[in-house]
Amino acid sequence: MIHQKQQQASSSSQSGFTIIESLIAVVVVGILLVAIAPVIIFSVATRLQARRIELATNAAQTYIDGIRSSTIPPPPIVTKSTAYTTDPPSPDAPSGTLTCPTTGTGLCEISPATPSSQLYCVDGDTGGCTSDNFKDMIVQGFGYNPTSDKPEDGYRLGLRVYRRDAFNKPSITLKASKDPGIKQAETFTKGTGLISIQAPLVEMTTEISSKVTTFSDFCQRLKPPANNPNPKSHC
């Protein structure tokens, strides 16, 4: 009896992925990555900027606490001159070559000097004030009292906080919020052409008084102008 050998089923030439299908899959994955990459970059940049602003806020509070406790000497206090009918403008942003303590926190020097403000480095990681560490911040402090330049009479303290790595770079010109076309640093600058490192991370004002500051000192400094009196004021 003759038995015919069954032929084994040949493998189909259509099984598996073809090269064209693989290329299409690669293209699709690439398109998806391109679509979500800006979202990932934006998220990372936002978190980094938020972290910097948090560090800058802490640096500002450290500086204010140091001024109030007299562990940091008071900044220069500007008075109101006869040339101004309103409060004089705040000092310009720092400009020049900065020199800071290599260990710990402390006052910095800048050349050429800026007599209307004070620069103070807040060391964020106990590694000294270095230009390659994003945790280190530079506080620009300045005072204003329309009638007295004595710290014991009290004054309004203004301050700006900049990144330490923004200094000593010829390609970077620091700005203040009063400058035209500049706002506080943002993750993206919305087409202004300015990079965030130029602007202060934090800019604020607060009132400073001492143990010998009297009510009369407050009145002299805070009373409304004569051309706009406040009938409820007791000064």
Write the DSSP assignment of 145-196 as a string of letters: -SS---GGG-EEEEEEEEEGGGSS-TT-----TTSTT--S--SS-TTSS--G
Say if 44 falls within a structural domain.
Answer: yes
Model pTM score: 0.74
CA distance 184 to 141: 17
For the record, the structure tokens of 22 come out as 């693989």
Whether 115 maps to a domain, the answer reads yes
The pLDDT of residue 62 is 94
Structure tokens at 75: 């900044």
- Given this model, what pLDDT does residue 234 score? 64
Which domain covers residue 186, as residue numbers?
Answer: 36-222
Residue 192 has a pLDDT of 40
Instruction: Give the residues of the chain that fall short of pLDDT 70.
Output: 1-17, 82-85, 181-196, 223-235
17 falls within a domain:
no
Look at residue 12 and tell me if it is in a domain.
no
Supply the pLDDT for residue 131: 79
Question: What pLDDT was estimated at residue 157?
Answer: 94
Task: Name the domain count of the chain.
Answer: 1
99 domain-assigned: yes
Q: What is the pLDDT of residue 194?
A: 41
pLDDT at 80: 79
User: Given this model, what pLDDT does residue 4 score?
Assistant: 55
- Specify if 143 maps to a domain: yes
What is the pLDDT at residue 191? 43
Specify the 3-state DSSP secondary structure of 47. Answer: helix
Question: Does 14 fall in a domain?
Answer: no
What is the number of other CB atoms lying within 10 angstroms of the CB of residue 132? 8
What is residue 216's predicted lDDT score, i.e. its pLDDT? 75
pLDDT given for residue 5 in this prediction: 53
Q: Does residue 233 sit within a domain?
A: no
User: For the chain, how big is the Rg over CA atoms in Å?
Assistant: 30
